[in-house]
Amino acid sequence: MSIITAAVSSPITIFRGILNRFFIYLGELAFLVARAAAYILRGNVDIRDLLQQMAAIGFNSIPIAVLTTLSSGSVIALYFAPVLIKYGAGNLTGAVVALALGRQLVPVLVGVVVAARAGSAIAAEIGTMKVSEQIDALRSLAVSPVQYLVVPRLLACVIVLPCLCVVADFTGLLGGYFVAVWQGVPATSYPQSIHDFVVLRDFTSGIIKTVVFGVIIALVSCHQGLITRGGATGVGRATTNAVVLSVVLIYIFDFVLAYLMYGGGTGQ
């Protein structure tokens, strides 16, 4: 009986430990964002540094975001256009592509792309500063690492991710248009179905998601950089953790936000 009890309790104990660490980690992120928000509300933001981070995080991510969403819109049209045409609903292809991209695919893809490209760079940069004791030097000069390192990156992510989402929405729809027309959908019905069945909220909901994703990417990446230890190996580990944790949290919060916005999938 004791062996059976131990076998049953062991997975429960492990799961409880993982859950405890997860909520502790969320608490550390909440504390970090509270400190960053305090500096932002007081106006302690270096505009030049903010613009540099916006260029590094946003502008440099445009090509890969565009290519990713262009391909995704094309693939959705490639899958659904023949099926819709078969059942006499080919004129709905534009609406199907727009809803899939605007509500779900574009914000998530943009978040994952930025997490992989910019989030890893943020964690590596700050992690290198940590192991080389540059952050300790900032503290010795009475400069807050949160104000100097976290605030501009947090604001940059919050500003540029919605902008990337708008660009990616357009390119995704464009890719879907060309493939849908190639599959036999009338060229005029594609934009017409978007006009008839898709509302502005279907796109703004995705843009709102990217604001939350931007906060997640910036906080996770900066936090991983700030807690880096162990030299070059530690920097590599922090970079990997930043990307993995950002992507996991993006998918978790994507579900939460979708449920809150659409009432469990009713769309009302």
Digit-coded pLDDT (tens) for 210-223: 999 999 999 999 99
Asked if pLDDT for residue 113 goes beyond 90, the answer is yes
Digit-coded pLDDT (tens) for 38-88: 988 888 888 899 999 999 998 889 999 999 999 999 999 999 999 998 888
Please report whether residue 183 resides in a domain: yes
Please report whether residue 268 resides in a domain: no
Q: Tell me how crowded residue 16 is: count the other CB atoms within 10 A of its CB.
A: 11
Using left for φ > 0, alpha for ψ between -120 and 50, and beta otherwise, residue 2 falls in alpha
pLDDT mean across residues, the chain: 89
Asked if pLDDT for residue 154 goes beyond 70, the answer is yes
Digit-coded pLDDT (tens) for 1-52: 455 554 445 777 777 777 788 788 888 888 888 999 998 888 888 889 999 9
Amino acid, single-letter form, for residue 81: A
Q: Which residues form the domain of 237? A: 2-262
Please report whether residue 143 resides in a domain: yes
Whole-number pLDDT of residue 266: 46
Digit-coded pLDDT (tens) for 249-259: 999 999 999 99
Please report whether residue 34 resides in a domain: yes
CA–CA dist 248, 218 (Å, integer): 14
Q: How many domains does the chain have?
A: 1
Please report whether residue 17 resides in a domain: yes
Please report whether residue 267 resides in a domain: no
Amino acid, single-letter form, for residue 92: L
Please report whether residue 226 resides in a domain: yes
* Helical residues (DSSP H) of the chain, grouped into ranges: 2-41, 47-57, 62-86, 93-100, 106-114, 120-131, 134-140, 145, 151-183, 189-197, 200-226, 231-262
Percent of the chain with pLDDT over 90: 63
